[in-house]
Amino acid sequence: MHEVVITGIGVISPIGNSPDEVRDSLLQSRSGVGSFESDEISRAFPVARVPADFSASFTRLERPFLDRTTQMALLAARQATEDCGIVNFSTLGDRAGIFYGTVRGGGTTEWEGLRHFYAGRKTAKPYVIMGCMANAAASFISIKHQILGVTACHTTACASSGSAIADACRYLRAGDLDIALAGGAEAPLASQFLSAWDGLRALAEVDADDPARSCKPFSSARSGLVLGEGSVFFVLETREHAQARAARVLGVLEGWAVASDAHHIGAPHQRGQVAAMRSALRTAGVEPAALDYLNAHATATRGGDPVEVAALREVLGDAAAQVPVSSTKALHGHMLGAASAMELLVCLLAIRDGFIPPTAWLDAVDPDCGGLLHVPELLGGRRVRRALSLSAGFGGVNAALVVRAADPAH
């Protein structure tokens, strides 16, 4: 069995477009959430937007094929490959792979095609299919970086990038690959998609005093989730491959698991979350008390947060009083297919820079969310050696990842 290490990171997010920018936002509780209004929808929604147009990063010939989701995925993947020191993977042949997670793929391109159809255009533009398919970003990354091995795409709702990262780890641990690019991307901030989510009665209200404070996980004042966009990728390698090329190791992925609730298409059940976390801890070979931080899925919905808290209490047991738990979605929103990857990055930054990020705006913990060591304020100067991230998606799919410091003595 091979140890899986992290050697590159790339991020495009509402709270920063580099790991250091994300770190600074976490340290300062700087929110990426704002208000979204459109004549196409009935009310304003809080969203976490990446405040940039990336079109200029691509050529005129490339742009028609690249949905915003794919643009952000390509930029995050390039950042990760540059960070690890390998931009072109062709010499590795089929020993390199890409593992990608997304919920809706190129949804903006699809909506554009539908608008043209109902406006009277009976034949779509030639790029629509290739722009909106779920595997578009993975394929474009494979082409750009000459990744010739496995290309795997995961669409397991909010656990998508976690499932992708876990899949990559399995290939690496078994020795079927030497190196992999793994992560996810999402760009859901379109009126049509917000309207669909509003139909679930799951979206938060815009905070009347400060839109940036609209997402309040675990809080008695929470009103729902806040959708976010962005992309996060990691370069993962076997320890042997990283050592052979003298690569810098940023962290070790010790444990991973995916488990299902088998309960309901839209309502979570704690058994799947419990199973995912326990399996990830078993793979890592550690007990819950060995965790120094746990990044919760906690989307700030009335129904979801208490179920997750019950699962966390069950898994942590006596360690529930000593393992700090927070949800950083309060700052970067719910990035759907990219959520797991974003929150794994948060765990890595907590380990690297020695802090526990807070659940921002947690002024009063809901009694139904009690029994955990919540973190309403930043905890700085902390030794964080090992962290767990949990993601829970519609359909009852749950992904858990355990990451530890590159240096065991950290």
Query: What is the mean pLDDT for each group of 10 consecutive residues in the chain (410 residues)?
Result: 97 98 98 91 92 95 92 98 98 98 84 74 75 89 98 96 98 98 96 86 94 98 97 98 98 98 90 98 98 98 96 98 98 98 98 98 97 97 97 94 84
Query: Is the Cα dihedral 239, 242, 248, 250 positive or negative?
Result: negative
Distance, C-alpha 4 to centroid of its chain: 19
CA 204 – CA 48 distance, rounded (Å): 12
Evaluate whether 388 touches 319 at the Cβ level (below 8 Å).
Answer: no
**Closest to 329 (Cα-Cα) out of 320, 317, 340, 321:** 340
Active site residues: 158, 297, 334
What pLDDT score was predicted for residue 121?
75
What pLDDT score was predicted for residue 301?
96
Evaluate whether 400 touches 256 at the Cβ level (below 8 Å).
Answer: yes
What pLDDT score was predicted for residue 122?
74
What pLDDT score was predicted for residue 252?
98
What pLDDT score was predicted for residue 410?
54
Q: How many residues does the chain have?
A: 410
Whole-model pTM: value is 0.96
Kindly state the tokens that stand for 276.
Answer: 């995912």
What pLDDT score was predicted for residue 112?
75
User: At 233, which helix (H) or strand (E)?
Assistant: strand 230-238
CA distances from 60 to 64, 65, 124, 165, 401 (A): 8, 10, 19, 32, 39
**Closest to 137 (Cα-Cα) out of 153, 121, 160, 157:** 153
What pLDDT score was predicted for residue 123?
77
What pLDDT score was predicted for residue 125?
74
CATH topology of domain 1-393: Peroxisomal Thiolase; Chain A, domain 1 (3.40.47)
**Closest to 191 (Cα-Cα) out of 183, 179, 199, 180:** 199
CA distances from 82 to 9, 10, 87, 278 (A): 9, 9, 6, 34
Q: What residue type is assigned to position 51 of the chain? A: P
